[in-house]
Structure 1
């Protein structure tokens, strides 16, 4: 019964979190966006103390239930392992913990966190790893399916669906997502939760806590006949059936062993009952937990310190027909979303989960290929511009890398300023009237002035008021010049208020 409840809740959480990355309408984020914010590492980086404490209490109470229910990467591995289990049953064997690897990766992760080496942190963060898989591999399939429905609906005079562009937002990020998917699929197919119990830093931290959880699965030696079915069905490979021991630091509380034991020798019981069910040797091992407690406190203090340090082609609005694709201008400073406050704040808090990239309705956000900010979101305006009334990315960011802003606040945040390139402008180059940039500027920061002030009939060119411009990119996006816009946005390292 416990296993069925766990599976049902896990499926619901996994499905809803996946849909957060697939839903391009933004409908689900208003209802279920909180599921992204209760992920352990994002909550830690956002300093959401209440959520972090709740997850810690949950682990102290029930064990690593977070890994088997809430974490989408954990449930994803379970799904692959379940499929593999249909082909070969009773396929797991007990293996001792590879402690040097687990703790070594955790120490490197903490060092990278302190040093601001975001690329390493992002590659190991479990929620972000799944986010990249969902947004880069699952989302295109979902969108193609939507476009197929839109195609048939259109032929039935229905507007229930509408087509969306499907495009590669970051080649390097796509490659990393593919490699991550393949590695996790192979590990899960062969060995179940290998990644969670040898590499994942969140799993290692929660493993410390779960050793002292109130409820835990316990082997009753009086009932156990030593058949080993529990160990052969333990995807965490943490049950030593010969010695009647369970490595609680690796147990993900999946309840599979309880369901498979025909003797009823494994029960999920409070700690007080555990003493009566375990043999003398197990009690002696538990008495030696002082060293483990000290190790846990040391690592927890280090992780807390690290967190504290870290905390410090759609045309719109009447655009001209596309003649050729626009090229990305060579910006001196990348543009970061309103709410990120500065490039530094974004780099410090972002785990590159790609949720903001997935939900951006204007096709403005894309993952960076810059190794210093690898896979973190940056803005470019070839496919759209950042509408002042849109706050989707700030509403759904789970880490505080893009802080929540209101529509009124966003309209006054200057993330960059427009720069006019004289030689690219069609007025100068082709001798024709334009003014597209001025007409579509939402804040009136661009005025058209005559080339020759003495001739009232002379052609007009844009003049940018950089103090008023907010860097939304409407001018760059809607500029008819090709392949480079005659006006483009240069980002600001630190955002300002106009």
Structure 2
């Protein structure tokens, strides 16, 4: 019964958290965005003391149920290991804990957090790792399925579905997500929860606490017949059936051992010291630990090659009236990257963001995309080739689980200057083509751009934009709607620290 309850709740969390990354309409976020905000590391970075204390108390009461129920990466590994059981049953075995590796990775992770090395934090954070997998690998498949339904619905004169653009937001982040997926899938397929108990820093912290949990699986030596079935089904490799001991720092409270024991010798209850005493030697057969195969490294290399090959993407031509091919815009070289309103600036954002990609997934204007910069690798930054940041939208702030993006109201957003527009004379259409334009001035929501004669002494000369830097909020409407190709004649330069105007 305990196992069935755990599975039901885990599936509920896993499916809905995955849908948060897939749902491009934003409908689910109004109901279930709290699931992202109760993840351990995001709650810690957001200084959400209530959630952190609740998770610690939960661990001290029930053990590492967070890892087997709430954490989407943990449940993902359980799904893969369950599929592996179809190939071979009773395939696990006890192995000693690699404490030097666990606590070594945790130490590096803490130093990266303190030092503000966001890219390293993002690589190790479990929730963020799953977020990248969902938004980069699962979301395109989900969107292609939606577009197929939209195509069929259109043929039936129905508008129940609508097509969305499917595009690669960052090749580097896609490759990292694909490689992470391959590594985790192989580890889970072969050895179950290896990643959780050797690499994951959240798992190490909760594992330390779970040693003192009130309730935990306990082996009753008076009932145990030494069959070793519990150890061969423990995906955490934490049951030493020969010594009748369980390593509670690695046990994720999945209840699989309880369900497999035919004698009822394992119960989920308060730990009793006498229940953990070993019986006489020779009562059970020794189960040799399964070692990590060197061939796995070759498999990882092959996975990396496969991930790189998937980066090739067919270019979709866009035409104007079916006649002229419209050249895609190119990203200008910005001295300072642009971060969303509510992030306060570069330093605050990089220190709090775990690069989970949730804001990238829900951005309706396709402005946010993962960074390729080494220091802010995979953390979202703004670019305006596909859209601009509309003043009436605050989706990124609504879904951010770490409060790296925090807005109290839309009025606040309209008064925050995240950057300023810069005019490039050589690209401006009135000067290069001799035609009237003014697109940037017409669409500027802050009225920061006016059109003035290019020749001060000739009122009839072609008009060019004049930018009031003090009023510009850096939304990117001018850059996005500028007709100049491939580079806009006006682009936004980010600010290190955001200003209120």
Equivalent residue runs for 1:51-90 within 5 Å: 51-90=51-90
Task: Name the structure 2 match of 1:279.
Answer: 277
Equivalent residues of 2:244, 2:278 under 8 A apart: no
User: Could you list the runs of 5+ residues in structure 2 that have no partner in the other structure?
Assistant: 281-315, 319-323
Equivalent residues of 1:165, 1:314 under 8 A apart: no
SS for the counterpart of 2:218 is: strand
For 1:261-281, what per-residue CA distance to the aligned partner results, in whole angstroms no more than 9, with x for missing partners?
00000000124xx24534379
> CA 1:397/1:314 → structure 2, altered by over 3 Å: closer, same or farther?
farther
Equivalent residues of 1:62, 1:214 under 8 A apart: yes
Equivalent residue runs for 1:6-155 within 5 Å: 6-155=6-155
Aligned with residue 411 of structure 1, among 408, 411, 414? 414
Task: Name the structure 1 match of 2:339.
Answer: 336
**How far apart, CA to CA, are the structure 1 residues paired with 2:343 and 2:52?**
22
Question: How many Å apart are 1:449 and its aligned residue?
Answer: 1.1
Question: How many Å apart are 1:442 and its aligned residue?
Answer: 0.9
Task: Name the structure 2 match of 1:201.
Answer: 201
Task: Name the structure 2 match of 1:383.
Answer: 386
For 1:136-170, what per-residue CA distance to the aligned partner results, in whole angstroms no more than 9, with x for missing partners?
00000000000001111111111111111111101
Task: Name the structure 2 match of 1:243.
Answer: 243
For 1:85-124, what per-residue CA distance to the aligned partner results, in whole angstroms no more than 9, with x for missing partners?
0111000001111111111111111111112222211111
SS for the counterpart of 1:206 is: helix
SS for the counterpart of 1:31 is: helix
Q: Where does structure 1 differ by over 2 angstroms across 4 or more consecutive aligned residues?
A: 274-282, 451-459
Task: Name the structure 1 match of 2:429.
Answer: 426
SS for the counterpart of 1:132 is: helix
Equivalent residues of 2:221, 2:279 under 8 A apart: no
Equivalent residues of 1:314, 1:383 under 8 A apart: no
> CA 1:281/1:406 → structure 2, altered by over 3 Å: closer, same or farther?
farther
> CA 1:214/1:314 → structure 2, altered by over 3 Å: closer, same or farther?
farther
Task: Name the structure 1 match of 2:495.
Answer: 492
For 1:27-79, what per-residue CA distance to the aligned partner results, in whole angstroms no more than 9, with x for missing partners?
11111111111000111111111100000000000000000000000000000
Equivalent residues of 2:233, 2:257 under 8 A apart: yes
**How far apart, CA to CA, are the structure 2 residues paired with 1:349 and 1:268?**
38
> CA 1:73/1:456 → structure 2, altered by over 3 Å: closer, same or farther?
same
**How far apart, CA to CA, are the structure 1 residues paired with 2:456 and 2:28?**
54
Equivalent residues of 1:394, 1:403 under 8 A apart: yes
**How far apart, CA to CA, are the structure 1 residues paired with 2:485 and 2:500?**
32
User: Could you list the runs of 5+ residues in structure 1 that have no partner in the other structure?
Assistant: 283-312, 316-320
More deviation, 391-400/68-77:
391-400
SS for the counterpart of 1:457 is: strand
- How many residues align structurally? 462
Length-normalised TM-score, structure 2:
0.90
Task: Name the structure 2 match of 1:448.
Answer: 451
Equivalent residues of 2:439, 2:478 under 8 A apart: yes
Question: How many Å apart are 1:365 and its aligned residue?
Answer: 0.4
Question: How many Å apart are 1:404 and its aligned residue?
Answer: 3.0
Equivalent residues of 1:391, 1:405 under 8 A apart: no
Equivalent residue runs for 1:163-312 within 5 Å: 163-271=163-271, 274-275=272-273, 277-279=275-277
SS for the counterpart of 1:433 is: coil
SS for the counterpart of 1:448 is: strand
> CA 1:281/1:464 → structure 2, altered by over 3 Å: closer, same or farther?
farther
**How far apart, CA to CA, are the structure 2 residues paired with 1:435 and 1:235?**
64
Q: CA RMSD in A?
A: 1.7
Task: Name the structure 2 match of 1:157.
Answer: 157
For the pair 1:459 / 2:462, whether they are aligned, the reply is yes
Question: How many Å apart are 1:223 and its aligned residue?
Answer: 0.4
Equivalent residues of 1:314, 1:384 under 8 A apart: no
Question: How many Å apart are 1:258 and its aligned residue?
Answer: 0.3
For 1:361-404, what per-residue CA distance to the aligned partner results, in whole angstroms no more than 9, with x for missing partners?
00000000000110111100000000011000011111121113
Task: Name the structure 1 match of 2:439.
Answer: 436
